[in-house]
Amino acid sequence: MERTTQLVGQSSSFLDAVERASRAAPLDRPVLVIGERGTGKELIAERLHHLSSRWDGPLVVMNCAALPETLIEAELFGHEAGSFTGATKSRVGRFEEADGGTLFLDELATLSQGAQERLLRAVEYGEVTRIGASKPMRVDVRIVAATNEHLPRLAEEGRFRADLLDRLCFEVVTLPPLRHRSSDIPVLADHFARRMALELEWPSWPGFSSAALNRLLEYSWPGNVRELRNVVERAVYRWGDAERPVDAVQFDPFESPWLPPPRPAAPGGGEGANLPVPAAAPSAWDPAGCADFRLAVAEYEKAILAAALEKCRWNQRAAATALALSYDQLRHAMKRHQLMA
């Protein structure tokens, strides 16, 4: 697969993760890649493949969350004609497609128990059996799997097979979220911006203004590198001036003064119910009865935000002005306290 995105970064946490993947690549062993959405798990899988002795073999990608549970096993292991309703002809599975190469299983934690059991046999013995077939077949496949879940905890809860986890965790590469590698934000932003400027056929890249760069550094990036790329590319193409540094950055593409208003409160509480205001929960942050400082401060801050939003009829810009906050600061606080409409 040819990618237009590369692994870019200079922070020690990021470089440590890349180095760990590079050292594990030549070894013909399973590797787990752990990280939040948008941190580049698939790019690490590609690195593991291309730096291995299987580099000239197939790299097959399967998103385990993209298929209904009833079809995952057929997709992974294939099926024979007539093995179930709709199976009009035989079909090879992803294991057979990846024979001699690497199989990347994204969103591993979403696999059903039945698929986990069959995957365990494939990893343990190098054999897969198509659905409806009577004899297994040998496959030579290296497994690289990724998830944003804490698999040991899922194993303790019985939601993921502990024996399968034992087989897959020869090496674990954990990717740091972007908020913990802030030194990479200017590097990544410049990388994505230059590529966008080239696509727009700008004669040169004028850079970001110091104010715009500070906004990028202050943002929490819940969507990590993927979100950063979208924000930067959107900022460059909307700016439209190849002579002046980009000074406008919009984090939320849905931001608009004409957004539909929030739904009215549901009777008796429930989805869409009114959010709490300070008078509704005085005991949580009553100084005389405070037993948990952090919780009290957090709940008081949430109540202030909710009261301001109610007063401004959920006009976020008006609420930000009323609280002497910037729009982005208000949005960050709303996300932190789960007050997003």
The closest alpha carbon to 90, from 137, 154, 40, 36, belongs to 137
182-239 fold: Helicase, Ruva Protein; domain 3 (1.10.8)
pTM for this model (two decimals): 0.73
Give the Cα separation of 221 and 318 in Å (integer): 24
- Helix, strand or coil for residue 103? strand
Q: What is the DSSP letter of 89?
A: S
Neighbours of 223 (CB within 10 A): 18
Range(s) within the chain of domains with CATH label 3.40.50.300? 12-176
Q: What is the pLDDT of residues 15-73, one digit of tens each?
A: 999 999 999 999 999 999 999 999 999 999 999 999 999 999 999 999 998 888 778 88
Give the Cα separation of 209 and 212 in Å (integer): 5
**Cβ-Cβ contacts under 8 Å for 176 (sequence gap 6 or more):** 11, 13, 14, 17, 35, 39
Q: What is the pLDDT of residues 62-84, one digit of tens each?
A: 999 888 877 888 889 888 887 77
The two structure tokens encoding residue 114: 């039945």
- Helix, strand or coil for residue 31? strand
* Least confident segment among 98-102, 112-116, 330-334: 330-334
Distances (CA, A) of 76 to 28, 71, 104: 20, 9, 11
User: Number of C-alpha atoms within 13 angstroms, CB side, residue 251?
Assistant: 20
Range(s) within the chain of domains with CATH label 1.10.10? 278-336
| 341 pLDDT more than 70 | no
| 2 pLDDT more than 50 | no
Give the Cα separation of 327 and 331 in Å (integer): 6
Q: What is the DSSP letter of 82?
A: T
Give the Cα separation of 262 and 108 in Å (integer): 35
Give the Cα separation of 182 and 173 in Å (integer): 20
Give the Cα separation of 249 and 208 in Å (integer): 10
Cβ-contact 190, 207 below 8 angstroms: yes
The CATH code belonging to domain 278-336 is: 1.10.10
Q: What is the pLDDT of residues 167-201, one digit of tens each?
A: 999 999 999 999 999 999 999 999 999 999 999 99
Query: Which contiguous run of DSSP H or E holds residue 95?
Result: helix 94-97
The closest alpha carbon to 132, from 100, 94, 97, 85, belongs to 85
Range(s) within the chain of domains with CATH label 1.10.8.60? 182-239
CATH value of 12-176 in 3.40.1360.10, 1.10.1660.10, 3.40.50.300, 3.40.1780.10 = 3.40.50.300
